[in-house]
Amino acid sequence: MDEFLLIMRHIDGTKIASPEQMQEWMKQTMDWIGTMAAQNKFVGGTGLPMSDACVVHHDKIVTNGPFGDIKETIGGYIHVKADSIEEAAEFAKRCPVLQGEGNTVEVRKIGKH
């Protein structure tokens, strides 16, 4: 069985949801994770807040981050086990973050050591 990261990308990370929207989204996210956990496919994951973020560039310059001129941000990731990239993509298709227009979930296989 392989392992994959489901990387949640938000088209505009500067938009803040209302407390009610955030509560509903968190419930949906926990239900989604619970479904994967019940199949013994969930490994871990977390949100990635935009505060306390920076970008280190090739010339060792440090700038505020996690974004520059674009508004897209990585909002978090989920680490899963799956039998194939197709199965991992099926997990990603059910991610609540996809309710936001323009949002995406990138599926990446984790390299073996």
Please tell me the pTM assigned to this model. Answer: 0.81
pLDDT at 67: 59
pLDDT at 47: 84
pLDDT at 101: 83
Q: Can you tell me whether residue 62 is helix, strand or coil? A: strand
Phi, psi (rounded to 5 degrees) for 108: -130, 130
pLDDT at 13: 57
User: What torsion do the CA atoms of 101, 41, 110, 56 make, to the nearest 10 degrees?
Assistant: 50
pLDDT at 75: 84
pLDDT at 16: 62
Residues of the chain with pLDDT under 70: 12-17, 65-72, 113
pLDDT at 26: 87
Say how far apart CA 38 and CA 36 lie, in whole Å. 5
pLDDT at 50: 73
